[in-house]
């Protein structure tokens, strides 16, 4: 009794028998079809709604102006050097730290602006910006 369609026993069979492969694939397909609905079932929970808006705290901005005669202004108030250092130390302790905008008069001596910058740096304030007028 020979199965295999008339081949001699000594010859090597060069064709692939696809029937076992198709059987295995059909069995796997049936297993997946049965198990997927079982996996997706979950407990129904009424979840709370939340907004995803960030609470951004914007720091204050301190405007320090150095006038032509060396006079200092904290926002709208005239201050002395000692008062400036005290206010800068208080501002450096805030969280988040305020930004400092330094405005220097066009005709002010460079020394006054540099000493003000040094006072800001010593106080520990990290954000310092220079305010200028745009050119023509």
| 128 pLDDT higher than 60 | yes
- Tens digits of residue pLDDT in 65-109: 999 998 999 998 999 999 999 999 999 998 889 999 999 998 998
CB contact set of 92 (below 8 Å; sequence gap of 6+): 123, 124, 125
Q: What are the boundaries of each domain within the chain?
A: 61-131
Rounded mean pLDDT of the chain? Answer: 85
Contacts of 80-84 spanning 24+ positions with Cβ under 8 A: 81/115, 81/119, 84/116, 84/119
| 56 pLDDT higher than 90 | no
Angstrom distance (rounded) from CA 88 to CA 125: 8
Angstrom distance (rounded) from CA 24 to CA 28: 6
| Domain spanning 61-131, CATH architecture | 2-Layer Sandwich (3.30)
| Site of tokens 């081949």 | 7
At residue 53 the predicted structure's pLDDT band, cuts being 50, 70 and 90, is confident
Q: How far is CA 117 from the centre of its chain?
A: 30
């Amino acid at each position: 009794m020979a199965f295999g369609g008339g081949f001699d026993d000594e010859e090597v069979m060069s064709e692939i028998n696809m029937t076992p492969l198709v059987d295995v694939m059909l069995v796997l397909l049936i297993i997946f079809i049965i198990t997927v609905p079982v996996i997706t079932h979950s407990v129904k929970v009424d979840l709370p709604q939340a907004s995803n808006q960030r609470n951004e705290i914007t720091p204050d901005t301190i405007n320090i102006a150095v006038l032509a005669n060396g006079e200092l202004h904290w926002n709208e108030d005239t201050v002395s050097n000692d008062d400036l250092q005290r206010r800068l130390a208080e501002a450096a302790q805030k969280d988040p730290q305020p930004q400092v905008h330094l405005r220097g008069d066009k005709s002010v001596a460079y020394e006054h602006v540099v000493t003000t910058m040094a006072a800001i740096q010593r106080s520990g304030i990290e954000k310092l910006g220079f305010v200028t007028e745009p050119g023509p």
